[in-house]
Amino acid sequence: MHIVVCIKQTPATSNVQIDPKTGTLKREGMAAAINPFDEYAIEEAVRLKERYGDVTISVITMGPPQAEDALRDAISKGCTQGFHLCDRAFAGADTYATSYALQMGIRKIEMHTQQKVDLIICGKQTNDGDTGHVGPGIAAWLEMPNVAYVKKVEEIADGAISIWRMMEDGTDVILMKLPALIAVVKEINEPRVPSLKGKMAAKKAVIQKWTADDIAADKTKIGLGGSPTIVASSFNPPPRTGGLLVTGSTPEEKAKNLVAKLREMKLV
Ligand code: FAD
């Protein structure tokens, strides 16, 4: 079985600052790490390798040169090999252009390894762009089925995958034909810490770097120029102001005081 895990290197903080002038992320001096949800995608792939034995895990990222560190981290946790889409032509991509480039990269991985891809695993979303579009976008380009919010892989057998999808009001159990894509939530597993052996393997690993030409990307579909979305403005939400504390010695008195306050404010 051949699994591809898509990972993005993102700021290692949830307190992402945006430059009000350019509307882009302030990345200077900001530590970067594997997007938190992608850690669960890596772990699930490694667990499937442990469960089913004959599994190759290819990990792919599209990002600047330093994103190579994320690929090495993934290899230290048990992924087999890393692929880096790295070219200025990819910069400024929205989710359409990102998913286009990644699916072209995945096609190239199939050619390079001579191994058809059976399963693609993504995180639910990133902690910077935060859209959750990229996984389903890749699946659409590759014309394969996909399921998001996956919290359990029950079984892979007879060319199909059985999964549990987390819903607000319960769980859907879905049987989906392979090849397919899943986007996972944090409830799916507990990511491991890399072993010393893993770290050594990651240090020695040769990361395959590909440009837009290498993956035969259509230049009108990549980077800023190939992105149909325009970010008109971006800003951090204003800090929350202090709330009003409704007091009372009993729950009934608190409820009465709350209603009185709402009346005073002409809200009821
Ligand atoms: P998501 O769709 O949230 O990611 C889901 C999963 O896809 C990830 O967990 C990972 O498994 C995979 N994945 C995502 N990116 C990569 C990657 N580079 N390499 C490998 N795997 C990956 N996009 C728009 O379309 N329109 C906008 O208006 C827009 N505004 C933005 C504004 C800001 C300030 C920022 C920081 C980003 C914005 N983006 C927007 C998204 C941006 O273009 C993304 O960096 C990129 O397209 C990926 O989208 P995402 O981060 O939302 O990923």
DSSP calls for 77-128: TT--EEEEE--GGGTT--HHHHHHHHHHHHHHHHHHHT----EEEEES--SS
CA of 198 to the centre of ligand 1 (A): 28
Residue 14 carries which side chain, given as an amino acid letter? Answer: S
CA of 238 to the centre of ligand 1 (A): 23
Q: What percent of the chain has pLDDT over 70?
A: 95
Residue 125: the pLDDT is 96
Is residue 218 scored above 70 in pLDDT? yes
Ligand 1 atom nearest to CA at 134: 2
Task: Identify whether 179 is preceded by a cis peptide bond (ω within 30 of 0).
Answer: yes
Structural domain boundaries of the chain? 2-221, 241-268
Residue nearest to atom 31 of ligand 1 (CA): 129
Listed residue (236, 133, 151) closest to 188, CA to CA: 151
CA of 175 to the centre of ligand 1 (A): 28
Does residue 142 contact residue 25 with C-beta atoms inside 8 Å? no
Q: What is the CA radius of gyration of the chain?
A: 22
Taking every pair of C-alpha atoms in the chain, what is the biggest distance, in angstroms? Answer: 72
The 10s digit of each residue's pLDDT in 149-186 is 999 999 999 999 999 999 999 999 999 999 999 999 99
Q: How confident is the model at residue 243 (pLDDT cuts 50, 70, 90)?
A: confident
Residue nearest to atom 4 of ligand 1 (CA): 125
Q: Residue 59: exposed, middle, or buried by beta-carbon count in 10 A (0-12, 13-18, 19+)?
A: buried
Is residue 3 scored above 80 in pLDDT? yes
Neighbours of 186 (CB within 10 A): 14
The 10s digit of each residue's pLDDT in 54-104 is 999 999 999 999 999 999 999 999 999 999 999 999 999 999 999 999 999
Residue 231: the pLDDT is 79
Is residue 29 scored above 90 in pLDDT? no
Is residue 28 scored above 70 in pLDDT? no
Residue 234: the pLDDT is 76
Q: Which residues line ligand 1 (CB under 6 A)?
A: 6-8, 18, 25, 35, 37-38, 41, 60-63, 93-95, 98, 102, 122-123, 125-126, 128-135, 229, 231, 234
Residue 252 carries which side chain, given as an amino acid letter? Answer: E
Residue nearest to atom 36 of ligand 1 (CA): 129
Ligand 1 atom nearest to CA at 41: 11
- For the 2-221 domain, the top CATH level (class) is alpha beta
